[in-house]
Amino acid sequence: METIYFDNAATSWPKPDAVLAAMENYFRFVGASPGRSGHRLSIEAGRGVFETRNALVSLFGAKDPLRIVFTKNATEALNIVIFGLIQPGDHVIVSSMEHNSVMRPLRAATAALEADLTVIPCNPFGHLDPEDVRRAIRKNTRIVFLTHASNVTGTIMPVAEVGRICREHDVLFCVDAAQSAGAVPIDVEAMNIDLLAFTGHKSLLGPQGTGGLYARKGIDARMRPLMMGGTGSRSEHELQPEFMPDKYESGTLNTIGLIGMGAGVREICSIGIEKIRQRELELTAAFMEGASGISGVTVYGDPDPNGRVPVVSFNIDGMRASDVGLQLDDANGIMCRPGLHCAPSAHRTLGTAPHGTVRFSFGYFNTREQIDTALNAIEALSFSSRRKSSCPA
């Protein structure tokens, strides 16, 4: 039985051969720590990490590779922003479609600092009205957080419009690009994004344990580091460096992971992000059209696949999401994710709490044949569920 992997929103798989080759090359022929020595292997490791910074600024429309801070994931990047910028008495705005990587640290920080938090409700499709953000801004609003694309429905948020509103009001704008980086074009300058949190192991095609934060020039002067320690620079001082990116990169970096992520980003640039987007749109549209036509199946979020990244949540009448996921795996080899997807606020918005949904998330390496296999499996499950419900007790 073929393994059909529809869980790319959790982590993308399979990885491109170029990613595996870059990581193997590092372990076989380099292996040293960047910035911790002056010998040629350390210099070569540092060159590999810097090439990843360069690839990322090119992908994100930024200018200075030193504005990229490396972290172990998007969650760490978001925590740097939340605990580094919010001060007592501040006001913070967020949407109701956010992941817990935003909501949990925000709830903790605003409670501890006696700051105010406004959650802007989205509609049942997961759409946000940018004017609701404008109306929510106060004199003490410090920052707006917004997911670029929902990890539950794939809904793409109006990032450019909200960014323009924030810039007009001199409010910082932080975008969670965990689901969008590598899947849709991002231009931090054109979109007025001050801070961009991203992860390496999803649509950037890299390994787990990688991610980062883009920070616009000047923001680092106001943002405290999440932790402090050795950076390989200014070793004669016992105070944390104040310059980017060292201020936020204490401890030895995940060098092999970052080199792998860089290879993933270069693979995206080689294929072309528009080509990737088009293929994933075709897969998403084919699944949505087929699933929407199956009796007893509810598909959530924007009915237009162009308004999504390749993420679709659905339920089958009379079946728990967890049972659907288990049966798809056991009987059909389909890997997906049922449940609340670490985004309870999003599920409350959709009306799917507390049980959640079944989530399919497609990638560039999936095929139309796999979509057809999945639709046949869902139709069979839905038919079986309807037959059971119609049988007398």
Question: Catalytic residues, which ones?
Answer: 342
Amino acid letter, 286: A
Phi first, then psi, for residue 7 (nearest 5°) are -130, 40
DSSP character at residue 195: E
Contacts of 187 (CB under 8 A, 6+ apart): 60, 61
SS3 222: coil
Q: To the nearest 10°, the Cα dihedral for 147, 224, 200, 283?
A: 0
Q: Which tokens sit at 75?
A: 């969650």
Of 82, 21, 80, whose CA–CA distance to 48 is shortest? 21
How far is CA 355 from each of CA 41, 322, 341, rounded to the nearest angstrom? 51, 9, 10
Chain centroid offset of residue 17 CA: 22
The Cα–Cα gap between 12 and 179 comes to 11
**In contact, 115 and 93? CB cutoff 8 Å:** no
The Cα–Cα gap between 209 and 257 comes to 7
Residue located via tokens 């959709």: 350
Q: In this structure, are strands 211-215 and 297-299 parallel, antiparallel, or unpaired?
A: unpaired
